[in-house]
Amino acid sequence: MSRILIAGNWKMHLNVSQASILVHRLQERIKTHRDVEVALFPSMLAMQPLSMQIDRRKFRLGAQDGHFKDEGAYTGEVSISMLRELVHYVLVGHSERRHIFGESDETIGHKVAAAVRNDISPILCVGETKDERSSKLTSQILHNQVTAGLKNVTSREIKHIVIAYEPVWAIGTGDIAKPDQIASAVATIRSNVAHLYGVAPSKRIRVLYGGSVNADVARAYLEIDGVDGVLVGGASLNYHSFSSIVGSAYRLTRER
């Protein structure tokens, strides 16, 4: 059984002092747990101060994005290589990056490779839009995004990758995906991985669910077959909801 991963994507919220207050509160409520891993994804600006503040037995840090080139004339960017030793994870291909910033599958493939090259685990985000789902294109979209995202990953490296299934229509909308929709999408993702790397890696790879996860539904999502954790946006900004999501994971591991 993999460790459950509870990831909090703060997006473009919380300045440095607000981020520090949230960590302080979470630190009081969240304990160290052998089977549950908690990762926080603050803004780039808060990364360095939080890396000094966090209790590393309780939390891991992750970046929300990064540039795949190690350095160069790319005004405004922070490279994934600059995040080395500072973060454990980096989100790659989040739907907001794909849809608002026009990130292509090719760029996403380069970012996944840059993360692996720098000893950072990429969390490759994939998911269909509402229109794609109603046109019955979900499996095709997942196949395309998984294949392109993993294009530069070798079979030795696949164990470092995490995949997050995040249906675009459920992100930040309060639209709750049904457990059977998630189970079938996660099965599709694992079968794509099996096709590319074999059955054993497809079972071992961690797959998260993300999209309007809150304290009320987290438990039901964590119980879905094949789901190893959740990627939480809005609800991760509130210490009460985020720590109760982590609490659901603790209870689940106790009952297993």
Residues annotated as catalytic are 94, 166
127 binds ligand PGA (CB under 6 A): no
Which of 210, 218, 241, 247 is in the footprint of ligand PGA by CB under 6 A?
A: 210
Residue type at position 238: N
For residues 142 and 126, the answer to whether their CB atoms sit within 8 Å is yes
Which of 212, 241, 243, 248 is in the footprint of ligand PGA by CB under 6 A?
A: 212
Q: Which two tokens stand for residue 227?
A: 């789901």
Q: Is 21 exposed, middle or buried (0-12, 13-18, 19+ CB in 10 A)?
A: exposed
Looking at the Cβ atoms of 210 and 229, the one nearer to ligand PGA is: 210
Query: For ligand PGA, which residue has the nearest CB?
Result: 233
Q: How far is the CB of 211 from ligand PGA (least distance, A)?
A: 5
Looking at the Cβ atoms of 112 and 170, the one nearer to ligand PGA is: 170
* CA dist 227 → 80, 98, 156, 160 (Å): 27, 23, 23, 17
> Taking the mean position of all CA atoms in its chain, how far away is CA 42?
13
For residues 225 and 183, the answer to whether their CB atoms sit within 8 Å is yes
**Number of residues this chain uses to bind ligand PGA (CB under 6 A):** 13
Q: Please give the residues from 217 up to 246 whose contact with ligand PGA meets the rule CB under 6 A.
A: 231-235
207 binds ligand PGA (CB under 6 A): no
3-state percent breakdown (helix, strand, coil) of the chain, nearest 5: 45, 15, 35
Separation CA 58–CA 203 (nearest Å): 26
Binding part of the chain for ligand PGA, among 30-38, 98-106, 208-216, 220-228 by CB under 6 A, reads 208-216
211 binds ligand PGA (CB under 6 A): yes
Which of 166, 169, 218, 246 is in the footprint of ligand PGA by CB under 6 A?
A: 166
- Please compute Rg for the chain using Cα positions: 17
Q: Write out the residues near ligand PGA by the rule CB under 6 A.
A: 9, 166, 171-172, 210-213, 231-235
